[in-house]
Amino acid sequence: MSTRRQFLQASTLLGALGSTAPGLLASPRSGKEARVVSTWDFGVGANQAAWNVLAGGGSALDAVEAGARWAESDLCNSTVGRCGYPDRDGVLSLDASIMAGDGRCGSVAALEDILHPISVARRVMEQTPHVMLVGEGARQFALQQGFPQQKLLTREADAAWREWLKTERYAPQINAERRGIPGDKDNHDTLGILAIDTNGQMAGACTTSGMAWKLRGRVGDSPIIGAGLYVDNEVGAATASGMGEEMIRNAASFLVVELMRQGRSPAEACQEAIQRVVRKRPEASRTLQVCFLAMNRNGEVGAYALHRGFVYAVCDSRKQDALLDSASVYASTQR
C-alpha cells in the first residue's frame, strides 16, 4: 500500500511540476519548459550535469550526453562507466546509446578501454552511416575519433570479481545496496536519462556496464534502440533499467512510447509495459528487476517497476534534486 501511496504523491508532485506554474524555464519563442529525468539515485547528479546545459539554453541532446558522461565518471557507481563491475572473465565492457527526438540515434556495445561510451555512441550517430558498433570495431572507431585508450577496471571492481570467482554464481540482485545488504554493491543498473529543452526537442541517453559477471560478449538492452531507449518528438521518450533480456524480449522502450502514442500517460504506459513482462514470464518476474521511466512531450513524467525500490530523479527550474519512488508490481524485493 505504501508503494501506491508514494506513487500517488509522486504523481501529484509531477502533476504540479507539469503545470504552467510561473518560474519554470521557458523560452519566449516556444513557451516550452525544460526538464530532465534520470533513473536511480545517481540520476540526481546526472540531472544536474544535464541541467547546466539546459539552463544555459542548450539542447536536450547535449544535456543527456552531459548527464551520461557524469555518470560514467562517477567513482561510486559499480554499475555504470569506469567503476562498473566486469564480466565473468574480469573484463569491463560498456554499453551505451543516445537518441534524438527526430529519430537520429547511435550506440556502442561491449566497448572496452574507453571512458565515455556515450560520446562514442554520439559519434556513431553523427559521423557514420550506421547506428551501432560493437566490441573491437567500436573500440577502433573510438580510437580513430581521438578518444583516449584507458584501462578502466578499478581495484575495487577487480577485488569484487576475484571474490565472485569463489562461487562463480551468476545471480543478478534486485536493488542490493538500496535494500541495505551489508557489503553488497548493486551488480546491475543503468543511467537512463531523458530531456526536453526549451525548443520542445527531446533526447535520451542510456549508459551501463551491464550485468556484473555476464558472459563475455553479452549485450544488454541499453545500447539497443527500442529496448533500453526510445525517443520520438511526436510523443515522448522512454528508458529502462533492470534485466536487459526482458527489455529486449518486449522491445520495451519502444512499447512504452507507442502506448503513450495511443493516449496513455507516462505512468500508465510504463505500468502496462511492466504488466506485459509479468504476463510473459510470471515466475521469472518475481526474481528479477525491471524498471521503466518515461516522459511525454508535455514534460509529464511517470515510472513503474517490477519490484519496489526503483527511484528516479527529476530536475527542472523549480527543483533540481527531486528523487521519487516508483510504483511497482511487487512490494517485496526479497527473493
Instruction: Find the shortest distance in angstroms from Cβ 191 to ligand ASP.
Output: 9
Q: What share of the chain is helix, strand, coil (3-state, %, to 5)?
A: 35, 25, 45
Residue 220 binds ligand ASP (CB under 6 A): yes
How long is the chain?
335
Give the single-character DSSP code of 225.
B
Considering only CA atoms, which of 279, 201, 269, 218 is closest in space to residue 239?
A: 269
Q: How many residues bind ligand ASP (CB under 6 A)?
A: 13
Which is nearer to ligand ASP, 232 or 246 (by Cβ)? Answer: 246
β-strand pairing of 301-307 with 328-330: parallel
Residue 167 CB, shortest distance to ligand ASP, in Å, is 20
Choose, by CB under 6 A, the member of 69, 188, 264, 297 that binds ligand ASP: 188
Which residues ranging from 290 to 319 are in contact with ligand ASP (CB under 6 A)? Answer: none
* Residue 221 contacts ligand ASP per CB under 6 A: yes
Ranges of beta strands (E only) in 148-242 are 191-196, 202-208, 229-232, 236-242
DSSP string, 17-62: HTS--TTS-B-TTT-PBPEEEEESTTHHHHHHHHHHHHHTT--HHH
* 86 contacts ligand ASP (rule: CB under 6 A): no
Residues 111 and 95: beta-carbon distance below 8 Å: yes
C-beta of 17: minimal distance to ligand ASP in Å? 25
Smallest separation (angstroms) from ligand ASP to the CB of 104: 22
Nearer to ligand ASP, 74 or 189 (CB): 189
Q: Can you tell me which of 190, 198, 201, 271 binds ligand ASP, judged by CB under 6 A?
A: 190
Measured distance CA(102)–CA(43) in Å, rounded: 24
User: Rg (Cα) of the chain, in Å, rounded?
Assistant: 18
Stretch that binds ligand ASP, among 197-205, 214-222, 252-260, 316-324 (CB under 6 A): 214-222
- Binding status of residue 244 toward ligand ASP by CB under 6 A: yes
Nearer to ligand ASP, 211 or 314 (CB): 211
Pick one of 241, 265, 296, 326: the residue that binds ligand ASP (CB under 6 A). 241
Chain-centroid distance of CA 236 in Å reads: 15
Closest CA to 173 of 156, 162, 189: 189
The nearer residue to ligand ASP, 235 or 305, going by C-beta atoms, is 305
Active site residues: 190
Residues 193-212 that bind ligand ASP (CB under 6 A): 208, 210-211
| Cα distance between residue 187 and residue 176, in whole Å | 8
Q: Please give the DSSP secondary-structure letter assigned to residue 114.
A: -
Per CB under 6 A, does 38 bind ligand ASP? Answer: no
Tell me the closest approach of the beta carbon of residue 168 to ligand ASP, in angstroms: 19
Quick check: 43 binds ligand ASP (CB under 6 A)? no
Question: At its nearest, how many Å lie between ligand ASP and the CB of residue 289?
Answer: 7
DSSP letter, residue 320:
S
Measured from the CB atom, the residue of 54 and 274 that comes closer to ligand ASP is 274
Question: CA 160, CA 167: separation in Å to the nearest integer?
Answer: 12
Among 222, 253, 326, 328, binds ligand ASP (CB under 6 A): 222
- Give all strands of the β-sheet with 105-111 in edge-to-edge order: 132-134, 105-111, 94-100, 202-208, 191-196, 35-39, 311-316, 322-325
Q: Which is nearer to ligand ASP, 72 or 197 (CB)?
A: 72
The contact set with ligand ASP (CB under 6 A) reads 188-190, 208, 210-211, 220-222, 241-244
